[in-house]
Amino acid sequence: MNAGERGMEIEGKFIKFTAIGVYLEESAIPWLAGKWNGKTANELMDSVEFFREIVTGPFEKFTQVTMILPLTGKQYSEKVSENCSAYWKAIGIYSDAEAKAIEKFLEVFKDESFPPGASILFTQSPLGSLTISFSKDGVIPEVGHSVIENVPLSGAVLESIIGKQGVSPAARRSVAERLSELLKASDGSAH
């Protein structure tokens, strides 16, 4: 449904590392429509509350992070973990459970490497589990590699991508633009 990239400026040049796709279960549209129908893409883009509702909404989310440049699992997971921990500390919810979830997250990635074209796949269930899968050949695996049962981690991974301080403003903009279109096309039923 939505795409963006993540990169950084190196010596005055923007270097893209990953391409990111964010997909929401169909039930997200009627759930979001009651409050957000009729809003422009720019209004949605600027709304922290809108993206919090996407992250916490009672529908499945799927995120595909595809490598443009090679990256090790350790590099990727350390950066994501750092972003998640900073977010939790900022909102005052960092606990032993989150520390353990971060340990599991780092463990899942420690021996992985991602050449260009390889993908990391995150599925967030409405119940709070985070399923992590890997694809080296463009095929989405039927069974996840690992499942981490931690509601804050599940949400923080997506928040770290599309949230206000997320690593991919392009993915955030794409989500806002596409959902603005889909909400306008919906019947506007409330949640």
pLDDT digits (tens, 9 = 90+) for 118-138: 999 999 999 989 999 999 988
Contact 26, 182 (CB under 8 A): no
Q: What is the pTM of this model?
A: 0.88
Tell me the CB-side half-sphere exposure of residue 1, using CA atoms within 13 A: 20
Query: Per DSSP, what are the bridge partners of residue 80?
Result: none
Of residues 33, 152, 62, the one with CA closest to residue 104: 152
Tens-place pLDDT, residues 56-101:
999 999 999 999 999 999 999 998 999 899 888 888 898 999 999 9
Architecture of domain 2-185: 3-Layer(bba) Sandwich (3.50)
Query: How far is Cα 147 from Cα 74, in angstroms, rounded to an integer?
Result: 18
131 strand-pairing partners: 123, 147
